Each structure stands twice: as structure tokens, then as C-alpha cells.
Amino acid sequence: MARSVPDHEVLKPEKFGRFYLRELLNSGGMADIWLVSDARGKTYALRRLKKNLRFNLTARRRFKRGNEILSRLADCKNIVGYVEHGSDYLLMDYVEAENLKQLVARQDPVLTENVAQILIDMATGLHDVHEGGYMHLDFKPENVLVSRNGAVRLIDFDMAQPLPEKPVKFSKNPGTPGYMAPEQLKREPIDARADIFAFGVSAYEVLTNKKPFPGESPGEILAAQMHPDGPIPPLELNPAVPPALEKVVLRCLERNPDRRYPFTGVMLRELQNALYV
């Protein structure tokens, strides 16, 4: 969403094309996120490819693909709003929000007061990605924005890939190890159920403020995933977790993808039933 900028706030900031760079909101490995305004004083979030990657063809292709995928998911409520993109930037709706990782770290009241709706909206956003024909492949709290009223938006589609008809093995291993499914860490073929596993890790973390499979390296994380006892049940760490919700989360975290939910639509329906929504 855009908001007007009072005249007294505009202090000749640096320009990027037709936009004024007003504030650096976040910086990642591939891009910086800026709060920008246009000539009319409306603000947006602008994701700009880092200068040192402008001649990196692999990074540019990934950045471009992520932007194009977002443009095809533009009408989904729980995905960040797309405005336009170019070869080295992505313009999005500006939402006053923090990522879920930050909220979990400090147990923010926004999280504790809206946890049921946040979990459902996360699942809805992931379902919309799959319905749009893609796997996210980097689903994690850091890529979930939550506004002060609890509204959820998924971001960052640089790792996304077309949804395959059957599991496919990639030459590279996209994602973040702490949220990868066992088949990803073992470099085996994957499909949308890898995203369902990542949702389970994220939901577990939201509910318990702990990782279900701790580890400092991919090998340690995989070893924890393969432990015969499985993760500590969320109820043992947070007695407020409804048993039906725990059942949903633990099914998402099954080490065998055939024991997880086959589709996000099934997961979402059971999540809604568990939370009486």
C-alpha cells in the first residue's frame, strides 16, 4: 500500500530512476530493500539488486526470475503486492511490517495475539504459490512479513521453481538448511512437499520459539531430522498449543515426504479445522 509523504520530509534523497531512495529497510545477500517515493510523494518498497552483482549473470537471472514469478502471483492476498520490475529492481507495495523471524525472537505481542490467523495466512499464501504453479523453496519466517495488525505477506521468490508433476532433482540446492526437508539435504528429488516441511518448521518455531531440528551445519540438521524419536512435541514446549494443531505441525515434519500432506490445500483445511476457523 502507498502512503503520502509530507513535503517537509523530502530532503533531496538519492534518486534511482524516477524514485527517491528514502530509507534502507533491509539488506540481504542479493538485494537491498528501500523505502522509496515517486514524484507524487507516494511510497513503495523497492528491492534493488546489489551493485556488486550487476555483472553476475547467475544472480541477475535468479533475480529476474523471482520478479517475474511474483508478477504472476500479483492478485494473491497473502503475497506481497507487485507493482513493476526492471532488470535490476522490483517495485512492491510498501507495508509497515517486520518479518516473522524478528517477531518470534522477541515474542512480540502482535505474534502472540494473532498466532492462529498468522499460521493460517502463512499456509494460505503458500497454497496460493502452489496453485500458481510454483514451489517457493525458501519458505521461512524471514520471508514472511507481518504488519502491526497481524496481516501476512510472503516475499522473496528468487529460489522459486515451477511445480513439477513428479519429484525432480536440481543441479543446485536452493533454500536455507534449517528449513530444508531431509530429501533436500540429501540432494534427492523434491516436489511441493518440501515447502510443506518448511511450513512445519516455521510453524513449530512460531509456537515454541525453538527449531524442531537444531544444528549448526546441514549435516547436523539432517542427523536431527533422522533421529528415530522425531522432534520434541510442541505441547511439551508450549502447553497452550492445541493437540489438533500439534498433529498438523508434526505431520508436516514427517521425514518421509509420503507421510506429509500431499497438497497444501489438504494441510490448510486441517489447519483451519484445528484452529476452529
Catalytic residues: 138
The grid cell for 182 is 531431509
Q: Cβ distance 198 to 269 under 8 Å? A: no
Q: Is 183 left (phi over 0), alpha (psi -120 to 50) or beta?
A: alpha
Alpha-carbon span 81 to 75, nearest angstrom: 8
Which residue, among 123, 128, 140, has the nearest Cα to 76 in the 3D structure?
A: 128
Strand duo 15-16 + 152-154: pairing:
unpaired
- Sign, CA torsion 102/104/92/192: positive
